[in-house]
Amino acid sequence: MALLRLSAMALSRSRFALSPLAETLGSLLALSRPCEDPWLADWHARHRAAFAARLEGDPFAAGLSRLLSSTKWLPDHVVIPPRDGMRTVLADELTEVAAAEDDHVAAQLTVSVEHSWREHDMTWLSGNGFAARTAELLNAVWHAHVLPDWPRRKALLERDVTYRAGLLAAYGWPRAIERMSRRSAWVGVDAIRFSDREAPDRVVSDEGMFFVPISASRGSWLCEAPPDRHAMVYPARGRAEPPREPVDCALDRLIGENRATILRQLEEPATSSELAAQLGLSLGTVGGHLAVLRDAQLITGERIGRRVVYRRTGTGDALTGA
């Protein structure tokens, strides 16, 4: 059992973050395999052929993608903790990816092969500049396959952070990390289990660590960067679904299609900007509908810092059949 040990100071300084690098890596893994997530089926079908074509002309990219998608050990130059919390940008992360030395990358990939469930011909690992070529591949995946889909994915990730930040404020870290992944759990008074595999405990420094959601519905990994940076990547709650087609039902006819859709979306708490991005509506339109739903006592709004988080009331749950 692998544990992360955190002092009281480390816990107090731990927080959530977004990582375009982690989202890109998750997308690369998804495109390298048959589709496993139902919500990804349409995106996977639209992007798989272009991704495969990109790999055909680059043996290094093809070999690396095949290895990363079939191992339990992701090399540390692609799993880097974000530095800037919710404001992390990909360019800064890729600069760090590209800075790794060739000898270190090769050693890490050797460990990845040892933990892979497939056979690998490593002749593609030739020449030099392994880290820079890795960063180039990730940059290409981001621009071709992730960036066009980023607004709805980011909305999903921000909603997960909003939800878990509420749990943290009300109940503390043990509830906030509950069900982050299939294996994660709070252990004792100062530790987080992040894997069932036997491994030495990691001690998080007093600077704390980041918790990073990604939009895939499965897959999690630990990010470490010496001497004192840690992050845990985990699947966000829910699915990054495109806006739903209007459904002809009694609730839609009673309060209108957009208000009914918003009310259904608030099965999980969200802000007005998150709802607007998720549903493809303007912020003003969403704000107007939220005001009506709140006046009707179907939802409530609670200020958390600079954000107002909306959630359904019991009456709102009853109307949606929750």
Instruction: Quickly count: other Cβ atoms within 10 Å of residue 15's Cβ.
Output: 14
Assign 322 a pLDDT band (cuts: 50, 70, 90): low
Does residue 119 belong to any structural domain of this protein? yes
Half-sphere exposure of 308 toward its Cβ, with a 13 Å CA cutoff?
10
Does residue 278 belong to any structural domain of this protein? yes
CA–CA distance, 31 with 33 (Å, rounded to integer): 5
Assign 243 a pLDDT band (cuts: 50, 70, 90): very low
CA–CA distance, 31 with 45 (Å, rounded to integer): 9
- The H or E element that residue 79 is part of is none
Do 39 and 136 lie in one domain? The reply is: yes
Q: Is 30 exposed, middle or buried (0-12, 13-18, 19+ CB in 10 A)?
A: buried
Do 140 and 33 lie in one domain? The reply is: yes
With b for 16 or more beta-carbon neighbours within 10 A and e for fewer, the 199-234 pattern comes to eeebebeeebbbbbbbbbbebbbbbbeeeebbbbbb
Do 139 and 50 lie in one domain? The reply is: yes
Do 269 and 280 lie in one domain? The reply is: yes
Which ranges of 115-213 does DSSP label H, i.e. alpha helix?
A: 130-141, 150-171, 173-176
Q: Quick one: pLDDT at residue 156?
A: 87
Q: What is the pLDDT of residues 299-321, one digit of tens each?
A: 999 888 788 999 999 888 888 87
Do 115 and 92 lie in one domain? The reply is: yes
Q: Quick one: pLDDT at residue 130?
A: 97
Q: What is the pLDDT of residues 263-292, one digit of tens each?
A: 988 988 889 988 988 888 889 999 999 999
Q: Quick one: pLDDT at residue 66?
A: 97
Helix-helix angle 272-279:257-265, to 10 degrees? 120
Closest CA to 145 of 52, 79, 80: 52
pLDDT at 237 exceeding the cut of 60: yes
Q: What is the pLDDT of residues 288-297, one digit of tens each?
A: 999 999 999 9
| Range with the largest mean pLDDT of 149-153, 158-162, 232-236 | 232-236
Do 39 and 63 lie in one domain? The reply is: yes
With tokens 């995106």, the residue in question is 43
Q: What is the pLDDT of residues 91-146, one digit of tens each?
A: 999 999 999 999 999 999 999 999 999 999 999 999 999 999 999 999 999 999 99
DSSP, res 39: G
pTM: 0.77
Do 199 and 134 lie in one domain? The reply is: no
With tokens 């079939």, the residue in question is 70
With tokens 């992050």, the residue in question is 231
Antiparallel, parallel or unpaired: β 202-203 and 2-5? parallel
Does residue 243 belong to any structural domain of this protein? no
Do 166 and 272 lie in one domain? The reply is: no
pLDDT at 242 exceeding the cut of 70: no
Count of structural domains within the chain? 3
Residues in the chain, total: 322
Residue range of the domain that includes 101? 20-150
Q: Quick one: pLDDT at residue 172?
A: 87
